[in-house]
Amino acid sequence: MSGSFGDMGNLLKQAQRMQSAMQEAREELDDLELEGTAGGGVVGVTVSANGDFKDVRISAEAMKAEDRSLLEDLILAAAQDALSQAKRTREERLAKVTGGLNLPGFQ
């Protein structure tokens, strides 16, 4: 009977280590910035790996264009590119912490 309590204690310690590693990973992801671009780089959007928007850059060339809908499409495409990179980076980093397991509360 005491063996099962020891196993439970080990599981609890592992969960605590994983939780600590997950917190560290989230902090690293907050600091990591990724840039999505569109239109050959005339529009750029920077996000954290956690998906928080940090910056939008629009070149003077893009601002001169009088096609508002094109500029809006470029901004949207750059944002989608940045968020896609952030999601992929986040999933890769968190998979290292969880060993690839899809655990609730660790995403």
Q: How far apart are CA 11 and CA 52, in angstroms?
A: 33
Span 82-90, mean pLDDT? Answer: 95
Q: Report, as an integer, the average pLDDT of 1-23.
A: 77
Residue 56 backbone dihedrals phi, psi, to 5 degrees: -130, 130
Q: Report pTM.
A: 0.75
* Residues 94 and 104 sit within 8 Å (Cβ to Cβ): no
Q: Percent of the chain at pLDDT above 90?
A: 47
Q: For each of the domains in the chain, give its residue range(s) and CATH number, in order of start.
A: 2-98 (3.30.1310.10)
Widest distance between CA atoms in the chain: 77
pLDDT of residue 10: 84
